[in-house]
Amino acid sequence: MSRRSILKALAALLSAFWTVIIVFPIFRYLQRPKDDAPQISEVEVGPESDILPGSSKTFKYGKKPGLLIRDDKGELHAFEAVCSHLACTVQHRPKKGDIYCACHSGVYDLAGGNVSGPPPKPLTPLKVAVNENGLVVVSKA
């Protein structure tokens, strides 16, 4: 083997190595993460009497946060508290009467619809019911 062929083989090997180093992290970033969380059918959030009109309560819904809101009319609304833009956690702003994502100033109305900012889709709604014991039960819509 000549010196030139050894250097060509070494250059090809180094090029392949650098290609893998650059492409592999991009591939891993674009892959959807595995969701190993057990599927939850419903969650008891607490007594209905604890949630006053115009207030909210956050709760855990599987691996995701949930948001239960009682609007000024007394109606209960529940959502996955995950922004549809970059999956940041959203919060209820009672004084402004909206749901806010602090990551990029995304604003949703109390029905979960996107009002302004970068969120492309509304919040994921959850089904709300009150059982015979007066506890608020949230489940997939």
Q: pLDDT per residue over 54-81, tens digit each?
A: 999 999 988 889 999 998 888 999 999 9
Q: Which domain holds residue 5?
A: 1-31
- Domains identified in the chain, total number: 2
14 in helix, strand or coil?
helix
Report pLDDT for 35: 63
SS3 of 22-71: the string is HHHHHHHHHCCCCCCCCCCCEEEEEEHHHCCCCEEEEEEECCEEEEEEEC
Give the confidence band of 19 by pLDDT, cuts at 50, 70, 90.
very high
Report pLDDT for 86: 87
Is 66 a member of any domain? yes
User: How far apart (Å, rounded) are the C-alpha atoms in residues 13 and 7?
Assistant: 10
Same domain for 113 and 64?
yes
Report pLDDT for 38: 62
Higher pLDDT, 128 or 34: 128
Same domain for 53 and 26?
no
- In tens, the pLDDT along 75-125 reads 999 999 999 888 899 999 999 999 999 998 999 999 999 899 898 999 999
99, exposed or middle or buried, with CB in 10 Å at 0-12, 13-18, 19+? buried
Give me the chain's average pLDDT, please: 89
Tell me if 93 sits within 8 A of 103, measured CB to CB: no
Same domain for 19 and 51?
no
Residue (of 78, 88, 83) closest to 46 by Cα position: 78
Same domain for 53 and 121?
yes
Q: Is the pLDDT of residue 141 over 80?
A: no
Give the confidence band of 1 by pLDDT, cuts at 50, 70, 90.
confident
- Predicted TM-score (pTM) above 0.75: no
Mean pLDDT of 124-129: 93
Chain-centroid distance of CA 6 in Å reads 52
Residue (of 66, 75, 72) closest to 45 by Cα position: 66
Q: Is the pLDDT of residue 37 over 90?
A: no
